[in-house]
Structure 1
Amino acid sequence: MTFELMMASGIQPAEDQANDVLEWYARRGDVSGLEEFLQEFVRGSLTDRQRHLHIKAHEKSVPPGAVPESALSLLHTYESTGRPPPMTAYSRLIAALFRIPSSVAHAQAWDLFSHMRYVAHPHPDSLLYSQMIQACALPTPSEPERALDLFTEMTIDRRIPPTAGAYTAAILACARSGSKVYVNEAFRLAKEMLNAHRDARGRSAFSPDSHTFGALLEGAKRIGDLGRVRWILAEMVEMTRRNPESRDVVVDERIMTHVFHAYAAYKPPFRRSMAPLASQNKVDADTSEPVESFVADDREPSPPPPVEVPQEPSFAHLPPQSRPEVIGEARALFARISRPSPPPTGSPSGAPLLPALPDVHVTPRLLRAYLSIFYAHAPLETAHGMFRTTFADHGLTKDVVAIVEALERCAAARRGVDRARVGSFADDAWNEWTTFEKEKEKTPIRGESSARSIQRAYAARIRVLALTGRLDEALACLRTFSARYPPHAVLEPSRPRAERRNGMRDMRVSLAAGGRPLVRLTTVLDVQDDDVPAFLTFADVEVLHHRLVAAGDLRGLAYVKWACKAYEGALRKRREAALRA
């Protein structure tokens, strides 16, 4: 109404005033209202800011997780008229594409980045460089080489001063690779970030925040470097204690998840076999009987006594040296989540006390990480008890990943006592899995409960049944899987091909006479297929195959061979069809 009165009075609205209204429409995703306002109250060609808001409105008009096709088409329309949008519009669409959990969308984001540099803006700014380096850290898969190339291009070739976001993104990309070489490169970048940009007083231009520490924890946990993880956690706790008002460094659920994963991946140097019992040493020294008499003794050797674990670990500079010490430290850390830290009874004066961690909220992801420590370091019986009680004690329901990880722990049971007791643990986990499958029959399984989780669950179940000699049940489980997720389903795409591709890979923009295609960084072979249904390979049923050979079950062997070959052939035909398309 105000703009109508201004126009009726012959007053041309100022650009800032018009942009404020356009920003309001863009935030709401009201494309029709924005375009109507442009047509009525904006005279002449649109400015860079107005073109950006026009594209932003189209991007906001689609629901989260959907491809902003109209925004992409509008962007290319502006390019074809010789008025490319500003770099902020490209950054916004690239970020929107990377937020979509789709390999096609991620490939289109990289293509749009290369296309922008060829058509509109050859020199990205620091924000867009940081955004693309961050994209190199996506877990499927991480690309540390590309991240370091972009970081070098930004800082060395273009001489753009690095930002804290660019450093953190490069550190995360190197850390998520899981390679010790690149993890060490991540720590080198962190050291450069703090020491290479100091002023005359020696103060660093950058200070690490929770994202920087979290990126370093990603790398340290993947190589099982518990010493670095404990040092990083101590630094974060100390920074929080010195400056409690600041929220730059917060020990939250994400940080503690990394810490628990590091405890699970850590390999303590001490083994019980390295320290013989004192009583046995005395017998060996005093006896005059030949050694052969002890070897020939048929009696079962008495199990070693349990290792005493202190109620309150000291958290000394030296990492835990045995599996019980690892579990003791993990229990002590978990006990401090959202709880005060009372002094331990009988603790010596000056003993370090653990602070409370009030910013850590118990979530299924945190509990899964905590359970992984017991799966890696505790006996199977202890791990089974934790699986039954941990989620219930905190009023949470087990998710799909927690059940699959429990089944895989059972499948990795060692010979001896663990193998004898694995049946009850595996049956409990499988009963919860079957309950989940029945509840999800009417809804598509996606996200964390994807086809790969189904595949991992059945493969672990078949392996457990084969290891425990229940071959008939293992074959029945394989038949159930083949009936519920048949091989011919691998040949049938879950969505139409045009919908799966979202039409993005077919977009064209006229760069010269003849209409050249969109400049791309990815080929068709680089784009993964996100819709492959659940299947089993020979590696998943290899143990069952070996046990059937030993038992001489020819019918069971024939069925295992048919199932493996059927899934293998379906995968090959699906790949060939994708290449032809």
Structure 2
Amino acid sequence: MSFRLPLGLLEITALSLASRSSHRLVSRTFHSDVIYPSKLSITGNQVPVKPQQTGREDHVHSPLFQQPTTPLSEEELQAIYQDLLRHDAPPPVEQPFADSIPDPALVLPRLTRRIVTVPEINDIPTSFSSKLQSRLSQAITQPTTVHHSQGKPYSDLLNALQKDNFSPSLPILGESVTKGVMTLPEWTALIEACLKEYDADGAFTALRVMKKLGTPVPWDIHQHVLQSLAEEGLFREIQAYAHEFLPERTDAPHFVHLITALSKCRLYNTALSLLHTQEVKGHYPPQTVYQALIVNLMRSPTPGNTPRRAKAWDLFYHMRYVAHPTPSISLYTDMIRACADAAEPETLRGFDLWTEMTVDKRMTPTTEAYNAIIALAARNKSTALEATRLAKEMVEFGRDAEGRPAMPLTKETYIALLEAAKRLGDLKQARWILMKLARAGPAGTSAVDHWALRHIFHTYATYSPPFKRQMATIKPRIKLQNQTEHLAKASQTPEDAIEGVSEIQPHQTTGYDALLPQTTRALLSEADALFDLLLREKSLSQEDTSSMPLLFSSVSSLPEIVSAYFSVYLNHAPSFSAAVSKIRAVHAQTNFEWTPELIRICMVHCARRVRPGSLNLATEWADELWSAWSALAERERGRVSRWLPGAPTTPAERRVTPKSTISAPTVSSIWAAYIQLKAKANTLDDAMALVRRFEEIYPPSDAKANLSPEMPTESRVVLAGARTLVRTNPRGLIDDDSVPPILAFTDVATLHKALLHAQRSEDVGYLTYLLHAYAGGVRDRRGMNLLVSDVKEGWKGKEALGNEVEVKVKAKRRFEKRKRNGRVRPGLRRW
């Protein structure tokens, strides 16, 4: 308990005196003529400011400093604003070394005339004595130099450079070099000519001559040669090059090119083993080596792309665990782009990496990173609006005083936004993007390529016009004046009966309109106008295109554009016959070549969306498509199938023997659609003949052969060893993209139902056997590839059991089975 003592008389007197003295100090401070200095100026002198005199003695809050008498002008304010919001000038973009190399076709003839000595006619000995003397001459009797290069444009020059006693017959123009043989750009042009001819020995010979003459070889030339060898998969030549020309480098700069060369030869396991061997030795490669291998695994071709993608993700997390915990922005961008390029986009994983990069690591995203995350968001309909928001965030990220963004939208950004507009059916945004792409190229030229135009037509296909035929109001029947008016009214379509639309004729609705198309007729007219403009530009000659700007100058692949254009008619044509007529007319006009994807789209549409009234027309058109497919398959029969793994090959070998362009899912879809259409037309004998023919060409036993060697069969996590330590993809969830063409029950469900209705039990039994044979072959293939048993582990779609929820899932299935059998009492909740 505390007590408060009263203040004494002396304490009260002291407090009152202090209060009076402080009041006098304040009065003297604000009412005297004493001038106090303000803040220091730029010159270091104090600028005195006299306080403002006021009549009030108690004005304690008067300002100590005066406001500036002269306000800042608009130019000064704008200069300050521009200085505060200016964009730091990016470092100058260095020109790629390959672009600075002179054209070998222009340099080599001049070098040949200067270095390769050709004897003059007057110098040729004619007399017998001169011939004898020349034959006995010491210079002639010397052994000639072995010429290693033959049949190349630079063979004479390269052979002359190997001699020791050559001398230039013409003076060198330009800078002088050691011994006055060739300038550095000329050496570079000679090496580039050797690389263009895929002549690694010729490039090595030129570099040996440079080394012999004492000409220093810049690192850019070393880098260019190593990169060219890596693109051709010449890993042995890369090792020999580093041993001969880079013996003083201890940091192994050729290691990244060696990994790339092994990947180009599809020796991915060898590259992984080499990388892990260096880790075991304690030599952790730089992050660029990991990035090169990860990117090559992600972009590897089929078959085997799916298991290699799993290895790439394992290597990414292994790198962070072992060598480099923090990836670079470039590697983050590549991984997010890999999430977008997957067959099924990995949206959650990609956004997790984006959040980790921007929020956790506080890295400033680049334009490429924004393009990657926008493309990922655009691949899914549920996140397509997020792509637009990210594009706005990209533009608003750091504007200067004049409103110019630090990261403007690029061509890749617009194409990603077109992907989002296609998913949403947003034709308005697609039109705006097309207008932007028309001026997004260099010097304001058009940047519309076949990818952008495909997305445009797909947007037309997914766009839903606001007017429906059911919305038209039915007017009361009026009395017709004559027979001519009656025929004119009878020839109108239901859309022409709308008020305000009946006056518009079909030829007046063609072309682009400022408003969005309100009917399917206006939609098809707008798509026709765009396609006709493309054909008109492609039909122009070279002289006509040089004098006028073109919108579709960058469009090259016409069959892909045609398939997207056909999808507009297949979705919005008023009738099936109208769509078929349009496709036939376009084929007669352009004479395009049928592709497997285009045949698949048309055949699947015939089988799934045909009405009973147009069944005969659909069957006739399907027979035409089948004839085109048979000719295409016969032409591709000599090539290696895309679903066969095959042996590792180099890029040169693949150029000689290319693979087929037909994939296994495309084959299965085309056959299944044709079988389904024959079953709908009630031609069961033809349908069963197709099934037996399919079994003959693609037997079920093929599913157990040609197993994919890329399937990972190791355990998920290990602690030590020359292998990937971290496993993020369970074996049961890895798809196999090397399965040959097969038939599933959904492909022949229509035929199975028709056979049951016709009571053809023998054919039903054969069809049941065949479907079980294909399913069993795929199940056995998974067991041999992944070392898993789908029967024991309860494989059901992509739901891999064997984890902590296995007991719950099995209990739920047992409960559902008991409930179907009627052995569960009502009101009893067991799940």
Normalised by the size of structure 1, how large is the TM-score?
0.82
Give the AA of the match of 1:78: Q
CA distance 1:36–1:477, shift in 2 (3 Å): closer
Larger mean Cα displacement after TM superposition, 518-527 or 532-541:
518-527
**Structure 1: distance between partners of 2:723 and 2:701:** 39
Q: Tell whether 2:413 aligns with 1:196.
A: no
1:517-557 CA distance string (max 9 Å, x none): 53233232232111111111221111222223333333333
**Structure 2: distance between partners of 1:6 and 1:470:** 76
For the 8 Å contact 2:448–2:551, the answer to whether it is kept is no
For the 8 Å contact 1:338–1:357, the answer to whether it is kept is no
1:137-536 equivalences under 5 Å are 137-177=340-380, 179=381, 181-237=382-438, 239-240=439-440, 245-246=443-444, 250-275=447-472, 278=475, 281-282=476-477, 304=493, 308-311=505-508, 313=510, 315-337=512-534, 339=536, 356-378=551-573, 379-446=575-642, 448-490=661-703, 492-495=704-707, 497=708, 499-501=709-711, 512=720, 517-536=724-743
Larger mean Cα displacement after TM superposition, 184-193 or 445-454:
445-454
CA shift for structure 1 position 482: 2.2
**Structure 2: distance between partners of 1:153 and 1:313:** 50
For the 8 Å contact 1:252–1:360, the answer to whether it is kept is yes
1:247-293 CA distance string (max 9 Å, x none): 6x711111001101111122223233432665xx3179xxxxxxxxx
**Structure 1: distance between partners of 2:683 and 2:699:** 23
1:65-118 CA distance string (max 9 Å, x none): x24444433332332222212112222222221221211221222122111111
Give the AA of the match of 1:574: R
Determine the structure 1 residue equivalent to 2:329.
Answer: 126
Larger mean Cα displacement after TM superposition, 536-545 or 140-149:
536-545
Identity of aligned residues (%): 34
Determine the structure 2 residue equivalent to 1:107.
Answer: 310
CA distance 1:235–1:33, shift in 2 (3 Å): closer
Larger mean Cα displacement after TM superposition, 181-190 or 53-62:
53-62
CA shift for structure 1 position 167: 0.7
**Structure 2: distance between partners of 1:332 and 1:8:** 66
Give the AA of the match of 2:527: A
SS of equivalent to 1:357: coil
Give the AA of the match of 2:452: I
SS of equivalent to 1:336: helix
SS of equivalent to 1:136: helix
Higher relative contact order (CA 8 A, sep 6+): 1
For the 8 Å contact 2:329–2:363, the answer to whether it is kept is yes
1:464-520 CA distance string (max 9 Å, x none): 112222222222222222222222322x2324x5x344xx766999965x6675323
Determine the structure 2 residue equivalent to 1:91.
Answer: 291
For the 8 Å contact 1:236–1:251, the answer to whether it is kept is yes
Once superposed, what is the RMSD of the aligned Cα atoms?
3.5
For the 8 Å contact 1:97–1:108, the answer to whether it is kept is yes
CA shift for structure 1 position 332: 0.3
Give the AA of the match of 2:327: P
Normalised by the size of structure 2, how large is the TM-score?
0.58
Determine the structure 2 residue equivalent to 1:537.
Answer: 744
**Structure 1: distance between partners of 2:207 and 2:533:** 59
1:158-217 CA distance string (max 9 Å, x none): 11101111111011111112x2x2111111111111123323443211111111111111
CA distance 1:392–1:82, shift in 2 (3 Å): farther
Determine the structure 2 residue equivalent to 1:564.
Answer: 771
Larger mean Cα displacement after TM superposition, 153-162 or 249-258:
249-258
**Structure 2: distance between partners of 1:32 and 1:445:** 29
Determine the structure 2 residue equivalent to 1:80.
Answer: 280
CA distance 1:416–1:138, shift in 2 (3 Å): same
Match of 1:56 among 230, 235, 257: 257
Match of 2:250 among 32, 35, 46: 46
**Structure 1: distance between partners of 2:211 and 2:526:** 72
CA distance 1:22–1:333, shift in 2 (3 Å): closer
For the 8 Å contact 1:337–1:358, the answer to whether it is kept is no
Give the AA of the match of 1:411: A
